[in-house]
A = this chain, B = another copy of it.
Amino acid sequence: MQTLDKPLQQEIDQPLTIAGKSFNSRLMTGTGKYRTLEQMQQSILACGCEIVTVAVRRVQTQAPGHEGLAEAIDWKKIWMLPNTAGCQNAEDAIRVARLGREMAKLLGQEDNNFVKLEVIPDPKYLLPDPIGTLEAAEKLVKEGFAVLPYINADPLLAKRLEEVGCATVMPLGSPIGSGQGIKNAANIQIIIDNAKVPVVVDAGIGTPSEAATAMEMGADALLINSAIALAGQPAMMAKAMGMATQAGRLAYLSGRIPIKNYATASSPVTGTINS
């Protein structure tokens, strides 16, 4: 891979910019579900991510088996994205968002005002509530948060959230942890085609091919947790996801060939055989 080394790619591509902060990696990961903290650490390294999301409530309550999670990550290198997992309504989410900001400060990220907003009343599918999410987003934006809302792939809701000042929109590909892939592709494409903020595809991605698919569609970034943490070999899958995210981005920038009904010869032969 001599010819297209990092400098070249960076000339072509722009960094991912969210709320004024720039990142080279377009893959975000999480901290949940890993079998060991060591696997989490290795996976974060292997995928090359620069943003890691953390469930504020779990860290606050030191949920069993997750002690020391916040300390296990080098927050000088990784940007924390506190999330409001476990919140079933707008008020809870707002309260937890504030706790998250405190947590980031305590861990040394004084200027971190990011929050991944999850308002999820439903425990079975873990699908977000559009009304509660919009309500919480409006309030958090007014409080100065950079809000990254987790939403169903509803283009009108995405537009509303953008209008109230959200920093990104994060439509889901399929239910969290389901590994079903990009089930809402048509709607996600409409969101991508119309958004003026970064679109981060979140939830549902199970394989590198699905990660690449989302990036080829023009998504600005991805968030992948379960597919890495619960893979047979998390760090190896993490590396695969990092490569696929880059591959999908490069393909989006390169311009794919058109899809044709018929074949086109790779090697047209106009001459005859000289034998």
Listed in ascending order, the chain A residues whose CB lies under 8 Å from chain B are 1-4, 9, 12, 30-33, 42, 45-48, 55, 57-58, 60-64, 83, 85-86, 92, 95-96, 99, 121-131, 134, 152, 154-157, 159-160, 174-180, 183-187, 190, 206-210, 212-213, 216, 225-227, 229-244, 246-248, 250-251, 253-275
**10 pairs, CB–CB < 8 Å, chain A vs chain B:** A3-B235, A85-B265, A125-B263, A126-B265, A127-B156, A131-B131, A179-B259, A184-B186, A209-B251, A241-B247
Selected from B30, B122, B213, B264, the residue in CB contact (under 8 A) with A267 is B30
Q: How far does the alpha carbon of A224 sit from the alpha carbon of B206 in the complex, in Å?
A: 24
Tell me if A256 and B207 are in contact (CB < 8 A). Answer: yes
Asked, given contacts A131-B131, A237-B250, A243-B246, whether A121 binds B156 with beta carbons under 8 Å apart, the answer is yes
Q: How far does the alpha carbon of A35 sit from the alpha carbon of B31 in the complex, in Å?
A: 46
Tell me if A247 and B255 are in contact (CB < 8 A). Answer: no
Chain B residues with Cβ below 8 Å from A233 are: 253-255
Q: Which 8 A-B pairs have the closest CB atoms?
A: A232-B255, A61-B271, A177-B264, A86-B269, A55-B267, A175-B263, A209-B212, A126-B263
Tell me if B178 and A154 are in contact (CB < 8 A). Answer: no
Closest to A180 in B: B259
Selected from B9, B216, B225, B275, the residue in CB contact (under 8 A) with A207 is B216
Q: How far is the CB of A113 from chain B (nearest CB, A)?
A: 18
Chain B residues with Cβ below 8 Å from A159 are: 122
Closest to A48 in B: B1
A210, A239, A272: residue with the most chain B Cβ atoms closer than 10 Å: A239
Chain B residues with Cβ below 8 Å from A45 are: 1-3
Tell me if B63 and A176 are in contact (CB < 8 A). Answer: no
A42, A154, A242, A263: residue with the most chain B Cβ atoms closer than 10 Å: A263
Q: How far does the alpha carbon of A263 sit from the alpha carbon of B261 in the complex, in Å?
A: 24
